[in-house]
Amino acid sequence: MDISVLVTVVVIVLLVLVVMARAVQIVPQATAAVVERLGRYKTTQTPGLAFLVPFVDRIRERIDLREQVVSFPPQPVITKDNLTVRIDTVVYFRVTDPKAAVYEISDYITGVEQITTTTLRNVVGGMTLEETLTSRDQINTTLRGELDEATGRWGIKVERVEIKAIDPPPSIQESMERQMKADREKRATILTAEGQRESAIRSAEGNKQAQILTAEGAKQAAILNAEAERQSRILRAQGERAAQYLYAQGEAKAIEKRFAAIKAGRPTPELLAYQYLQTLPEMAKGEANKVWMVPSDFGKALEGFTKMLGAPGEDGVFKYTPSPDDGQRVRPEDDEESVKGWFDTSGDPEIAAQVAAATAAARQEVPALGEVAPKAVRAAPGGGPQGLPAGASRRRPDPAKRGPAHRRGLTHPPLRIRVVAP
C-alpha cells in the first residue's frame, strides 16, 4: 500500500475520532451545561449524554447547581456611633438559572461578595455597636432579604447569610472587657449577698425552730418532772403516814407488852431502883451531861410509882397484876375504815411494770446474792455451826448463873425508867 494512502486513512480516522469526541458530551449530575451554536445561546443541557454538532455547537460553561458556601474576608464597617468594626460573613447560595448566571454577570461569585459587602455596610451603618453585637439574627435576616432580591436577576438564590465574627476596635474590646468584668463582679456580689441573706434567714429559721423545740422539750420535761415529783411526794407521804401509824401501833403494842411483862414479873421497889441506877450511866453519856443529882426523896418517888402500877399483897408489898391476854391480834387496817387504803401495797401498775423491768435488767447484770454468798449458817467441816469451835453448840445459859432479874421471873430485858420526884 502506498504511504500516502496510509497517511490519508490515519488522518481520516483521527478526524472521525475528533468529530465524535466533540459531538458526544457527558454532563454530570447536579451540573448544567450552557450550549452555544455559532456563538449564540442554543440550550441548557441537563445531566446525561449530550449530542452536539461538531464545529458548530460548543459548551460555553458548566454550572454547579449544588448549594455553595462562600466565606468572605472580614470587612471594615462603620457603625452609627462612628466605630469601625470588622465583620466576617458567610453566604449560602444556589444557582437556579444557569443561563442568567452565565449571561447576566461575568462572575457571579465576585458579584455576590461585592453586593454582600455593600448591603452589610448599609445595614450595620444604621445601628450602634451595642445593637450590632446583640442583633445578629436581625442582621442575618436583613442581609438575606436584600441579597436575594439583588441576585435574583442573576439566576442565584441566596439561602441564608451568617455572621461569623464581629471584631470591635482593641480599645473598645478592652473597655467592653472591663465593663463585662465589672458586671460579672456586680452580679457575683449581688448573688453572694443574696446567698448570705438566704443563709442568714435559713439559719435564723433553724435557730427559731430549735429554740421552740427546746422550749417545748423543757416544758414537757418540767411538766413530767413536776408530775413525777408530785406522785413521788404523794407516795412518800402515804408511805410515811402508814409507817407512822404502824410505828405508833407498834409502840403501843410494845408498851403494852412491856407493862404486861412488868406486871407478870411483879417487880419490887428495890428492883425498880436497881433498874433506875443502871439507866443513869446511859443517861450520862451525852456530851452536855456533866453532873447528875439523885433526889433525896428517891424512895418516896419509887413508892408512889409502885402504888400507881400495882396493889398491896398479903405481906403489904405492892405487886403488879398482869393484864389479861385474849390472844387476839388486831391489824392496823382493822382499826378504822378510813385507814384501810393506807396499807395498800399493790402500787401503780405502770410503776410496778417499770420496777419489774429495772429489776430484770439489774438481775441480768448483777448475779443473785445466793450465787456469790453462802448461806448464813452452815455446818463447819470440823463439827458445830459456823462461827463456833468444834464441839461447841449454841446452848442456853444456865439458870443458876442468870442475874437477879431472871431469878425473879423476868423474861425481858431490864426496863430503864427515869423517875422524877413530884
Alpha helices for 266-324 (secondary structure H): 269-283, 298-309
Cα 176 from chain centre: 47
- Taking only the tens place, the pLDDT of each residue in 238-248 is 888 888 888 88
| Interatomic CA distance for residues 155 and 99, integer angstroms | 8
Work out the average pLDDT over 385-410.
42
Does residue 226 register a pLDDT over 80? Answer: yes
Q: Which residues, 6 or more positions from 118, have their beta carbon under 8 angstroms from its beta carbon?
A: none
Please report which confidence band the pLDDT of residue 196 belongs to, taking 50, 70 and 90 as the band edges.
very high
- Please report the pLDDT score of residue 180 as a whole number: 86
Q: Which residues, 6 or more positions from 25, have their beta carbon under 8 angstroms from its beta carbon?
A: 33, 45, 49, 50, 51, 52, 59
Please report which confidence band the pLDDT of residue 197 belongs to, taking 50, 70 and 90 as the band edges.
very high
Alpha helices for 94-169 (secondary structure H): 98-103, 108-125, 129-134, 136-151
Please report which confidence band the pLDDT of residue 302 belongs to, taking 50, 70 and 90 as the band edges.
low
- Please report the pLDDT score of residue 408 as a whole number: 41
Please report which confidence band the pLDDT of residue 92 belongs to, taking 50, 70 and 90 as the band edges.
very high
Q: Which residues, 6 or more positions from 86, have their beta carbon under 8 angstroms from its beta carbon?
A: 74, 75, 76, 77, 165, 166, 167
Does residue 265 register a pLDDT over 80? Answer: no
- Please report the pLDDT score of residue 199 as a whole number: 92
Integer angstrom CA distances of residue 205 from 50, 56, 153, 182, 198? 88, 97, 73, 34, 10
With CA atoms as reference, report the closest residue to 309 among 251, 270, 266, 280. 266
With CA atoms as reference, report the closest residue to 344 among 417, 241, 415, 274. 241
With CA atoms as reference, report the closest residue to 307 among 179, 145, 422, 173. 422
- Taking only the tens place, the pLDDT of each residue in 99-135 is 989 998 888 888 888 888 888 888 888 888 888 888 8
- Taking only the tens place, the pLDDT of each residue in 133-148 is 888 888 888 888 888 8
Average pLDDT, the chain: 75
Contact (Cβ atoms closer than 8 angstroms) between residue 160 and residue 92: yes
- Taking only the tens place, the pLDDT of each residue in 26-50 is 888 989 999 988 888 898 888 888 8
Q: Which residues, 6 or more positions from 44, have their beta carbon under 8 angstroms from its beta carbon?
A: 32, 33, 34, 35, 98, 99
Work out the average pLDDT over 266-276.
69
Residue 371 carries which DSSP code? H
Please report which confidence band the pLDDT of residue 3 belongs to, taking 50, 70 and 90 as the band edges.
confident
- Please report the pLDDT score of residue 342 as a whole number: 63
Domains belonging to the chain, first-starting first, are 3-64 (2.30.30), 68-168 (3.30.479.30)
- Please report the pLDDT score of residue 290 as a whole number: 59
Q: Which of 127-131, 228-232, 285-289, 355-359 has the lowest mean pLDDT?
A: 285-289
Alpha helices for 24-128 (secondary structure H): 98-103, 108-125
Does residue 330 register a pLDDT over 70? Answer: no
The single-letter code of the amino acid at 286 is: G
Range among 20-34, 202-216, 263-277 rated most confident = 202-216
For residue 66 the three cell numbers come to 449544588
Q: Which residues, 6 or more positions from 297, have their beta carbon under 8 angstroms from its beta carbon?
A: 421
Does residue 188 register a pLDDT over 90? Answer: yes
Strand partners, 86: 76, 167
- Please report the pLDDT score of residue 198 as a whole number: 92
- Please report the pLDDT score of residue 194 as a whole number: 92
The single-letter code of the amino acid at 42 is: K
With a pLDDT cut of 90, the percent of the chain lying above it is 13
- Taking only the tens place, the pLDDT of each residue in 54-77 is 888 888 889 899 999 988 888 888
- Please report the pLDDT score of residue 301 as a whole number: 62
Q: Which residues, 6 or more positions from 402, have their beta carbon under 8 angstroms from its beta carbon?
A: none
With a pLDDT cut of 70, the percent of the chain lying above it is 66
Range among 50-59, 328-337, 355-364 rated most confident = 50-59
Does residue 82 register a pLDDT over 80? Answer: yes
Please report which confidence band the pLDDT of residue 399 belongs to, taking 50, 70 and 90 as the band edges.
very low
- Please report the pLDDT score of residue 343 as a whole number: 61
Angle between helices 170-265 and 298-309 (to 10 degrees): 90
End-to-end CA distance of the chain: 198
Longest dimension (CA), the chain: 210
Does residue 386 register a pLDDT over 50? Answer: no
Give the pairing type, strands 75-78 and 84-95: antiparallel
Count CA within 13 A, CB hemisphere, residue 329. 1
- Taking only the tens place, the pLDDT of each residue in 7-30 is 787 888 888 787 777 788 888 898
| Interatomic CA distance for residues 268 and 180, integer angstroms | 124
